Structure 1
Amino acid sequence: MTQQAAALQTYNNELVKCIEDLCSKRDELNRQIKQEEEEKERLQHDISVLSEKLNRVNESLAQRQAARATFNRTIKETEAAYSKILESSQSLLSVLKQEAGNLSRATEPRRKEH
């Protein structure tokens, strides 16, 4: 019977050691889970902050793009109007030169032809 008792004691010791090993592994796993949950919270917070920044940048970008479109339209319209002014100025100058020439001829003394 002492041999059986010794075997039982050995089994009991091994069983206790296995249970302690499992508890130790569980504790390590709990530590890793807690660490990853904290990392997950940090990442979710970072995502939230970055999403807010992204929204602000998108809004600002949309406003700037609209302003740029307004600038482009204004520049295009102004250049077209300026081009028309240049054409009108050229036409006016041409007419003025022609009229000045006509006036000069009209005011010149007439030469007598022999």
Structure 2
Amino acid sequence: MTQQAAALQTYNNELVKCIEELCSKRDELNRQIKQEEEEKERLQHDIRVLSEKLSRVNESLTQRLAARSTFDRTIAETEAAYTKILESSQSLLSVLKQEAGNLSKATENKYTKTFQSRYTDT
């Protein structure tokens, strides 16, 4: 019986050793789980913060794009109006030159006729 008791004691010691190893492995696994849960929480927090920042940037970007569109439209309208002003100015200048030429011819013809009549009558 002593031999059986010794065997039982050996089995018991090995069983306790195995249970302690399993507990140790479980504790290590719990430590790793806790670390990963903490990392998960940090990542989720970072995601929330980044999502909020992304939302603010998207809002700002939308407003800036709308403002740029307004600038583009205003610039295009102003350039078109300015082009019309330039074309009108060019037309006005052309008409003015033509009228000035006509006036000059009319004045020259009167002056020449008056001059000729004064000197040819005498």
TM-score by length of 2: 0.89
> Could you give the per-residue CA deviations for residues 47-98 of structure 1, whole angstroms, max 9, x where no partner exists?
0000000000001111111111111111111111011000100000011011
Structure 1 segments of 4+ aligned residues over 4 angstroms from their partners: none
State yes or no: 1:8 paired with 2:8. Answer: yes
Equivalent residue number for residue 92 of structure 1: 92
Equivalent residue number for residue 74 of structure 1: 74
TM-score by length of 1: 0.95
Which of the two has higher C-alpha Rg? 2
State yes or no: 1:106 paired with 2:106. Answer: yes
Identity %: 86
Structure 2 residue ranges without an equivalent (≥5):
none
Q: Matched residue pairs, number?
A: 114
In structure 1, C-alpha distance between the alignment counterparts of 2:61 and 2:40, rounded to whole Å = 30
Which structure has greater helix proportion? Answer: 2
In structure 2, C-alpha distance between the alignment counterparts of 1:45 and 1:29, rounded to whole Å = 24
Following superposition, the deviation at residue 110 of structure 1 comes to 2.2
